[in-house]
Amino acid sequence: MISRKVLKSFLRSPVIDQDLEEKISYCENLIEEKIQPAYVKRRVQKVDFFGSSKTLTDLMDQASQLIFIGITLGQEAERLIQRLSVKDKYLAYVMDGALSAYLEDSLDRIQEEDQRKTENYITDRFSPGYGDIDHALQRDFARVLDIYKNLGLSLSKENLLIPRKSVLAVYGETKTRPSYRNGCGFCNREVCQEEGKARCSVYDR
C-alpha cells in the first residue's frame, strides 16, 4: 500500500475523504498490475563534484561509503497518466501523485533492505534540487550511474529526468549514527511554501 502521508503531500491534500480514497485504491491496483520499478546502485568512496553543498560534503565526510541510486517507473507510468487524462483529468492527477508516492516508497524499501544487510547506519537520501544541492548535479549523478545504459533514462536541457517518474539520489553508510536528518532541518531556504510537508516538491514535476 502506498504511504498516505507521502501521497497527501504530492496531492496537496491534508485530508483523504472516501471519494479520494476510492480513486487512490483504483490507482494502486493499476500500479500493482502495470508498474515494475527498475533501479541501479553504485557504491563509491569519494567524489569531486559536490561543490558548495554543505549537505553533501557533510555526508561524504561522515560516510564510509556513498551509495548512489537511480530508480524509474519507466514509460508505462507516463502512459497510465496519459490514458486516464483522456477520460478523467482529476483521476489522472491522483495517479500522478500516486506514482510519485510509490516511487518514494520504493526508495524507502531499498534503503530498509540495505539497513538490514549491515550493522552500520544507512543515512537519509538526498537528491539534486533539494536544499543546498544544485539541480545541475543531476548530470553528475547520471554519469556515476550511467543511467542511459543501465535504466534507459535521459536528461533534458533543464536537467529533468525522462521518463519523469524517475529519481537520482545519494545516501551513505556510516559507522556512527548520522547527526542530521533529511527534510526541512537540512534546508537553507529562508522562505518556502513546502515547509513541514512530507516531501519538498520543487522538482517533483
Least reliable range by pLDDT among 71-75, 81-85, 173-177: 173-177
First to last CA, the chain: 22
Report whether pLDDT(186) > 70.
no
Report whether pLDDT(98) > 80.
yes
pLDDT given for residue 115 in this prediction: 96
* pTM (two decimals): 0.87
* For residues 150-155, average pLDDT: 97
- Asked if residue 101 lies in contact with residue 201, where contact means CB atoms within 8 angstroms, the answer is no
* For residues 70-78, average pLDDT: 98
pLDDT given for residue 110 in this prediction: 97
C-alpha cell belonging to residue 59: 555526508
C-alpha cell belonging to residue 175: 559507522
Omega of the bond leading into 37 within 30 degrees of 0 (cis): no
